[in-house]
Amino acid sequence: QSHLIQGIEGDALEIQALFQPHNGVITLRVRRSVDGERAAEISYDGSSLNVVGTEVPFTLNDDEPLKLHLFLDKSVLELFVNGGRVAVTRLVDAEDNDRGIELVVHEGEATLISMDIWTMRSIW
């Protein structure tokens, strides 16, 4: 299942999302191109996080939700997972008009409990 977030987009964002992964693979796509071909992806598959191509081992305790806190400033992405148990900073290669946000769940089910998105002014 894929859900393009409507009504908000940008290249400078703060996102807080809370998921119950169940057995699905969760992918949050930011800096998504209009045609969906390009995006910076953050995925969780139950045993690891993949943050824009960097894989980090990470498992949740039984029934523990997945908490993502993401800061995006043009080409810099910072992600904090479950209160800082994992922290990753990555550079994002995106076109100026790649500003969409998409949520994808595949290979099973997941529940989005909450998602808050704020646009920010760039530090640059």
pLDDT digits (tens, 9 = 90+) for 106-117: 999 999 999 999
Domains and CATH numbers, the chain: 8-119 (2.60.120.560)
pLDDT for res 44: 98
pLDDT in tens, 58-96: 999 989 999 999 999 999 999 999 999 999 999 999 999
78, 71 in Cβ contact below 8 A?
yes
Does the pLDDT of residue 124 top 70, yes or no? Answer: no
Tell me how far apart the alpha carbons of residues 87 and 69 are, in angstroms, rounded to a whole number.
10
CA 49 to centroid of chain Cα atoms: 10
Please, how many CA atoms are within 13 Å of residue 85, restricted to the half-sphere of its CB?
15
- Work out the pLDDT band at 1, boundaries 50, 70, 90: confident
Q: pLDDT per residue over 16-65, tens digit each?
A: 999 999 999 999 999 999 999 999 999 999 999 999 999 999 999 989 99
Dihedral sign of CA atoms 59, 45, 104, 23 in order: negative
